[in-house]
Chain A
Amino acid sequence: MIGIGPSAQAGQSGRRDNEYNKGQHVWVSFPQGHGVHSVWMPEEFQYQPSYMQYPVVDEYFRHCFEERKRRLGDKARIMPFTGNLFPNTSYHGRQPRGLCVWHPHSPTETEAWRFFLVDADAPAEVKDVLRRFYMRYSGPAGMTEQDDMENWLYATSASSGTIARRYPFNYQQSMGAYKRNDPLPGDVSVQITEQNARNYYDVYARYLKGDGWDSLLGHGDVVRQAAE
């Protein structure tokens, strides 16, 4: 893999810095339909050098890292990766950092709006490096994301076929392989899983069925437990 990340000139391959390498990946779903993929870092986790071809940016993120740890304490161990806030707002937590709002137009068409985030108080050089990194990573011109539409369009077309439409999608990966509120709040899986997707569609189905707010907002979480 060639280096297209923000430390490529420092000899690092891949599309991002390896900020999560000592952590435990967790996939967490919530009764309201949200689902996140985060990384639970070890108790004594340290700043991982990043944006190494831009020393000012590396220094800025080292500062942010220490400050975040100081303010959040143990909670700082949760490092965001990606996630979806029910129903249609997704985020990339760190590299690049941004929101995506998905507007469904039809079963085969979705409009997506991307919002890229930089800290308002960051030095100008940091903002500029992030802006350039976001552009070359994301969207139809982004080196990482430019094959996304390739995948989505072919997947859409493949799913529209006569045979494909006879069968339900398979969302069975890692069935039941999660623990409730352990070690974090929510239904937590430590292996890659489709639990977030199952949870999402379960909540979505409850909206379509016109369930009451107690059910939709997961109060008591009885419905889902019964369903599983």
Chain B
Amino acid sequence: MSAALEKPVTHGLAWFALKQEIEDFLYMEADLLDQRDFRGWLDLLADDLVYFMPIRRNVKFGQHAEKENTRQGEGISWFDEDKWTLGKRVEQILTGVHYAEEPLSRVTHMVSNIRLLEVAPSVDDPAEVTVSCRFLVYQNRVEYESNTFIGRRTDTLRRHGDSWLIARRELLLEQNVLLAKNLSILF
């Protein structure tokens, strides 16, 4: 992260064009979810997707790097999933009898603070892009229930024809105890 902060802001047009393309992709993705096109959303996921949301701990000063977040591949996190399980989540919602999401929630995904952290092999020929952003997801359910999920997100996107596939998504929800009663929506 610190290396990214130190990058000079001397970018050429290709960089701005790529950033614009990535932003459009992320906004399009948010539209698919908010329009409840869950199957369309699944099509944006790479077959080897890693989808990870750690649980955050309250730790003593100085121990954050080591202990604050649960780790991918170890122990229990909110999500440490692959494309298959996300497909199952979608299938489950689409049964119409999954009562954590029936009736379906009203959801808005907002994405901001978009930054390209890494472009490989080059800005002129980008095959893989690591992009960080903030997310603000608003969920409203049935009559009176609403939840706001705010956090930081890092995605790895892979070039796929004239679009992109999400190969890795790491979501840092800024909560210790989950303040919503469940995580029935897709992030």
Contact = CB atoms under 8 A, between A and B. Distances in A.
Given A2-B92, A134-B76, A141-B78, A146 B182 contact: yes
B64 interface: no
Interface stretch (A40-48, A147-155, A218-226): A147-155
Interface string B98-134: 1110000000000000000000000000000000000
A131 B76 contact: yes
A68 B28 CA distance: 53
A135 B78 CA distance: 7
What is the predominant secondary structure among interface residues of chain A facing chain B? helix
A116 B184 CA distance: 21
Contact of B85 (A136, A149, A151): A136
A149 B76 contact: no
Residue among A128, A141, A143, A151 with most chain B CB within 10 A: A141
A2 B80 contact: no
B88 A140 contact: no
A106 to B, nearest CB: 16
Given A147-B98, A147-B99, A150-B100, A2 B91 contact: yes
Nearest to B184: A146
Interface residues of B, number: 25
A135 B76 contact: yes
Residue among A3, A128, A149, A150 with most chain B CB within 10 A: A150
A150 to B, nearest CB: 5
B10 to A, nearest CB: 42
Interface residues of A, number: 22
A131 B75 contact: yes
A8 interface: yes
A132 interface: yes
B88 A143 contact: yes
A4 interface: yes
A160 B74 CA distance: 41
Interface of B: 53, 73, 75-81, 84-85, 88-89, 91-92, 95, 98-100, 178, 180-184
Interface of A: 2-4, 8-9, 116, 128, 131-132, 134-136, 139-141, 143, 146-147, 149-151, 153
25 contacts: A2-B95, A4-B88, A9-B84, A131-B75, A131-B80, A132-B80, A134-B76, A135-B77, A136-B81, A139-B78, A140-B180, A140-B183, A141-B182, A143-B88, A143-B92, A146-B100, A146-B183, A147-B98, A147-B100, A147-B184, A149-B182, A150-B99, A150-B100, A150-B181, A153-B181
